[in-house]
Amino acid sequence: MLRNPKNAVSRGKTRPALTGLASVALVSTALTLTTGTGIATAATSVTPLVVYSAQGYDSTETTAFQKATGIPVELDDDSTGPLLTKIEAEKNNPKWGVLWVDGATAFASLDQQGLLMKGWEPTVSWNALGKEAVPPDKSYVPTGFTMAGTLVYDDKTVTDPPTTWQDLLATKWNGDIGMNDPAVSGPTYPFVAGMMNYLGGVNQGEKFYTGLENNGLHVYLTNGDTLAALEAGIIKLALIQSSAGIGAGIKDPDIKVKFLPPVTALPSALGIDSKAPKAEQLEAEKFIEFVLSTQGQQLMQSGDPTGDSLYWPVLTGVTPLKALPALSSIKVQTINPYTWGSREDTINTWFTDNIVE
């Protein structure tokens, strides 16, 4: 197996001690945001908003939010796995205010641990995807959809790509397949869980991934690492997030993306720390409203145009970028995040012990 290091960007993570009614009053009087326009009155807030994020457009979004509102933002940009590990380590003394990653399973797990603020939802016009993705207890907020575990290949090298998941186990692909590590890559655990869901259970899914491992599967850390192996000719087939594959195809027209049926839907979402000071929770609500405003959606679609910006929107009136295929052309399954979120640690441990070397 091959594993490559990831260079993560980490910014400040400190939070001042201001809490209570004074800070709430400061924030509530300092801000006015018009959802749908992205226009806000700038004001100075003492409490910074700490954002933990694994999104390619997060720096663009947080910079614009700070400029629009005057709320200082401290961004910690890293892969999903390390961010979740950090949140777990900080459980008794959290440093984050907002989490923004791919995969509702991660948020469901945090919700089950009581780590997410419940009962708040922005006033927006959800489309069918958005309505389906909002949890009943309103503990996190969807921001878009990509697909987990799409098949990516170079059609100059691969002229007869697999058409089913079982095709990947054929000896003709021995040593030619790569995927991400689900313990590190946010899109990959939902892919693993999605295969288990599709195949009928955890045991059946473990058998499938063991078959891939026996067929010479390469495991890398993230989408970029797996794509680099594909481009270098180390592998011929990459099982990665749809946005990464489609983005690679924009850069190189020989790179193609195939959606083996069924592909697992992968919502991105925002969640608010249940233990954050009330002032920061109010700022977090304003940030979510900003992300889902007209301006915020434009920034999501422009901030990482060959990566995470290639998502299907969750709001009415927002059109996906032209590089995205119509959803009606893809056979998609949605997994229950609360069923599979509670199993994430166990399944990731099994994957590390049995598949990753």
Residue 57: pLDDT over 90:
yes
DSSP assignment, residue 72? -
As a whole number, mean pLDDT of residues 186-190 equals: 95
222 and 305 part of one domain: no
The number of domains in the chain is 2
pLDDT tens digits along 224-260: 999 999 999 999 999 999 999 999 999 999 999 999 9
96 and 57 part of one domain: yes
201 and 134 part of one domain: no
- Whether residue 7 is contained in a domain is answered as no
- Whether residue 3 is contained in a domain is answered as no
Secondary structure (H, E, C), 238-250? EEECHHHHHHHHH
Domain that holds residue 213: 148-265+334-354
112 and 177 part of one domain: no
278 and 135 part of one domain: yes
Look at residue 46 in the predicted model and tell me its pLDDT: 78
* Residue 357 binned pLDDT confidence (cut-offs 50, 70, 90): confident
pLDDT tens digits along 88-102: 999 999 999 999 999
The radius of gyration of the chain's CA atoms, rounded to the nearest angstrom, is 20
pLDDT tens digits along 16-35: 333 333 333 334 434 444 44
201 and 53 part of one domain: no
Amino acid at 267: P
283 and 258 part of one domain: no
In a 10 Å sphere around its CB, with 0-12 CB exposed, 13-18 middle and 19+ buried, how is residue 76 labelled? buried
- Whether residue 208 is contained in a domain is answered as yes
154 and 251 part of one domain: yes
Q: Are strands 49-53 and 73-77 parallel, antiparallel or unpaired?
A: parallel
- Whether residue 15 is contained in a domain is answered as no
- Whether residue 5 is contained in a domain is answered as no
27 and 141 part of one domain: yes
Distance CA 174, CA 196 (A): 22
| CATH assignment of the domain containing 297 | 3.40.190.10
135 and 75 part of one domain: yes
Q: What percentage of the chain carries pLDDT values higher than 70? A: 87
- Whether residue 14 is contained in a domain is answered as no
Contact 168, 227 (CB under 8 A): no
Name the β-bridge partners of 74.
50
- Whether residue 184 is contained in a domain is answered as yes
pLDDT tens digits along 168-182: 999 999 999 999 999
Distance CA 295, CA 293 (A): 5
170 and 110 part of one domain: no
127 and 251 part of one domain: no
As a whole number, mean pLDDT of residues 53-70 equals: 98
- Whether residue 238 is contained in a domain is answered as yes
Q: Among the listed ranges 41-55, 190-204, 314-328, which one has the minimum average pLDDT value? A: 41-55
